Amino acid sequence: KILILDFGSQVTQLIARRVREAHVYCEIHPNDVSDDFIRAFAPKGVILSGSHASTYEDHQLRAPQAVWDLGVPVLGICYGMQTMAVQLGGAVQWSDHREFGYAEVRAHGHTKLLEGIQDFGTPEGHGMLKVWMSHGDKVTTLPPGFKLMASTPSCPIAGMADEARGYYAVQFHPEVTHTLQGKAMLERFVLQVAKAQPDWVMRDHIAEAVAKIREQVGDEEVILGLSGGVDSSVAAALIHRAIGDQLTCVFVDHGLLRLDEGKMVMEMFAGKLHARVIHVDASAQFLGQLAGVSDPEQKRKIIGREFVEVFKAEAAKLKAGGAGHKGATFLAQGTIYPDVIESGGAKTKKAVTIKSHHNVGGLPEQLGLKLLEPLRDLFKDEVRELGVALGLPPEMVYRHPFPGPGLGVRILGEVKKEYADLLRRADAIFIDELRAWKDEATGKSWYDLTSQAFTVFLPVKSVGVMGDGRTYDYVVALRAVQTSDFMTADWAELPYGLLKKVSGRIINEVRGINRVTYDVSSKPPATIEWE
């Protein structure tokens, strides 16, 4: 196993993720753990992380002496390189000014870490690496026993190595994807240099997570707000695996969910997993509050507020206990690692909305409940993998994201039950056909080839003909986008045949809709949702 010592970098979890991708078990601990802890941990290798934006105090942070006494390979990253240099007898020039950016690093000599790794070669035969680098502080004198491993014009010692001891250090960040060969470097460090066993699989994570949940919860009881989304579903399945009936899930149906969503969630969790799930049908209450409201932000606020009210009322009942239950003391949330970074860093308006909706911000304090967040260290794709390993159906785990306010923001203007019912049916047809239509070149379905696809209800009527008669019915817009981060998105070039099939089915099968359009706007300047 690998020990990652965290000096307070925002991207330390990314190091752990890369190590897990190499199927090696690792743990992150603060840089000031005791020597005894490190000896007892007995790592095959140690990685020293970077640190957050340079402040003078950071320069005092050091790796415990035991790291150097263990006789195992050590990889220093960014600040980790500087502390390695200082602790082993080199010198560092500190600077208050730090810049992040791309750099092209030249590799020197042949080192075990960089063997066979380069992005391109220079005509003189040097290996070059495209990396994400933080300039500023830099190592100016190599510690005894070290040789130069990499350099840039502005950072003459951008990498150093003492191969006899298995010590390597780089000024750039191999854990971020901008460093193209970073994953390969970390993999080489853990497998070739530290010779850790690549035997870690998601199943092991389940066992560890289950043990941790049992330890944290003991014989107390837990409430979880189940939305049907990936994160809360995986959290529910994991916690249920750990503590069974000590968990109660609360599923609030606001009447703005996709077709049969409530049924699916209940079948999966109550039916298949035999979890305790309370299904609260609050659709009348939500629709009542939304009557006459057409401003998008106002609608979002109302849905968010009602959601918290309904959930709080259920949680209060569960907290009180009774009927063989002593009362819940924990609130579980499907917070995942990107949420943790987001709430620590810059918050966008959306991020706050998303949070306050799905993860019901502030509720644990209001309800006097302790927090249980078993997915906090995982990235989205790892959460999905975990979900599949827990036995959740891949269709559920690999679903497109669905906004908390649901169809409330996909019915333009005032929300009415009639509109929601029409939209649900049209959208189900669109999604069915996307799943069924395979792309010839890749063999993948168009559902998997798009990042998010849905139908929008336009409360306008247009004229049509059906048989001999004239119709005067509603319009829907189909939306399908491809994106990696949802900040920018391209509209998907769906095959005409697919669009034709979808529009034909919607118009024929959903009485009340007589026109289907396809949205060909990219983000920016359009957004993915219409409201």
Binding-site residue numbers for ATP are 227-233
Report whether the peptide linkage leading into residue 524 is cis, meaning its omega lies within 30 degrees of zero. yes
Phi–psi pair at 237, nearest 5 degrees: -65, -40
AA letter at 303: I
Mention every residue, 6+ apart, whose C-beta is less than 8 A from residue 326: 221
Residue with tokens 């901008």: 178
Q: What count of Cα atoms within 13 Å lies in the side-chain half-sphere of residue 515?
A: 14
Cα 232 to Cα 247: distance, rounded to the nearest angstrom: 13
Instruction: Please tell me which residue in 26, 108, 135, 173 is annotated as part of the active site.
Output: 173
Residue with tokens 């049908």: 281
Mention every residue, 6+ apart, whose C-beta is less than 8 A from residue 324: none
Is 108 a residue of the active site?
A: no
Is 254 a residue of the active site?
A: no
Residue 489 token pair: 């998105």
Shortest distance, position 47 Cβ to ligand XMP, whole Å: 34
- 491 and 481 in contact (C-beta within 8 Å)? yes
AA letter at 454: F
Mention every residue, 6+ apart, whose C-beta is less than 8 A from residue 527: none
Nearer Cβ to ligand XMP, position 506 or 528?
Answer: 528
Mention every residue, 6+ apart, whose C-beta is less than 8 A from residue 531: 296, 299, 409, 410, 412
Q: Interface with ligand XMP by CB under 6 A: which residues?
A: 300, 350, 353-354, 357-358, 401, 403-405, 452, 486, 523, 527-529
Nearer Cβ to ligand XMP, position 183 or 400?
Answer: 400
- 264 and 499 in contact (C-beta within 8 Å)? no
Shortest distance, position 259 Cβ to ligand XMP, whole Å: 17
Q: Are strands 159-162 and 147-151 parallel, antiparallel or unpaired?
A: antiparallel
Mention every residue, 6+ apart, whose C-beta is less than 8 A from residue 377: 13, 16, 28, 337
Give binding residues as ranges: 227-233
The H or E element containing residue 395 is helix 394-397
Cα 511 to Cα 498: distance, rounded to the nearest angstrom: 21
Instruction: Please tell me which residue in 108, 135, 163, 175 is annotated as part of the active site.
Output: 175
Nearer Cβ to ligand XMP, position 99 or 297?
Answer: 297
- Of the candidates 412, 420, 400, the one whose C-alpha atom is nearest the C-alpha of residue 286 is 420
Cα 131 to Cα 178: distance, rounded to the nearest angstrom: 6
Is 418 a residue of the active site?
A: no
Nearer Cβ to ligand XMP, position 200 or 454?
Answer: 454
Distances (CA, A) of 253 to 187, 261, 266, 307: 45, 9, 11, 9
Q: Are strands 221-226 and 328-332 parallel, antiparallel or unpaired?
A: parallel
Nearer Cβ to ligand XMP, position 183 or 301?
Answer: 301
- Of the candidates 110, 73, 82, the one whose C-alpha atom is nearest the C-alpha of residue 190 is 73
Cα 234 to Cα 206: distance, rounded to the nearest angstrom: 11
Cα 250 to Cα 245: distance, rounded to the nearest angstrom: 13
Shortest distance, position 361 Cβ to ligand XMP, whole Å: 12
Sign for the CA dihedral angle at 303, 304, 310, 311 comes to positive
Distances (CA, A) of 79 to 76, 154, 162: 7, 17, 18
Q: What count of Cα atoms within 13 Å lies in the side-chain half-sphere of residue 487?
A: 4
Mention every residue, 6+ apart, whose C-beta is less than 8 A from residue 38: 3, 46, 64, 66, 67, 70
Catalytic residues, by residue number, are 78, 173, 175
